Amino acid sequence: MPPLAVLIVVLSLLDLYHEGDFGITSPYAWIEVFYFCTSCWALYCLALFFVVARHDLAPVKPLNKFLLVKGIVFFTWAQTLAIKLAFFLVYDYKARHFTESVGKKKRGTTRTRGASMEL
């Protein structure tokens, strides 16, 4: 979607778009939610189109072609999102665990997540 691509470029230039950040205030998370909603809407519209036009398109047998193309696009996006989400959860857990272990070794000093990631 061109408008979202422009929005992502602008947010990247302003250093507000961090790919893989699923925080509630992260623009990346909200853009992914929007992509999910639009993908579901596209699949719904495709199903409606097929229901309405199935008799006219019966000689061509488009269902398998439609499902294949939409399936590849949707599941590629879903797989990418799942990998990024798994990385975010594992990386965030390791950052918290590292912060706790550093804090114990330094006798109660606390470090921020950002400082832990720099180390």
The answer to whether the beta carbons of residues 16 and 27 sit under 8 Å apart is yes
Amino acid of residue 28: Y
Distance, CA of 81 to CA of 20 (rounded, Å): 8
87 token code pair: 């990385």
pTM, two decimal places: 0.58
Distance, CA of 9 to CA of 17 (rounded, Å): 8
With bands split at pLDDT 50, 70 and 90, how would you rate the model's confidence at 96?
low
Mean pLDDT estimate for the chain: 75
E strand segments, the chain: none
Of residues 109 and 99, the one with the higher pLDDT is 99
Distance, CA of 60 to CA of 85 (rounded, Å): 39
pLDDT digits 0-9 by tens, 25-80: 888 888 888 888 888 888 888 888 888 988 888 888 887 888 888 788 778 878 88
CB atoms within 10 A of CB 41: 10
With bands split at pLDDT 50, 70 and 90, how would you rate the model's confidence at 97?
low
Q: With a cut of 50, say whether residue 119 has pLDDT above it.
A: no
Q: What is the pLDDT of residue 94?
A: 58
Q: What is the pLDDT of residue 105?
A: 47
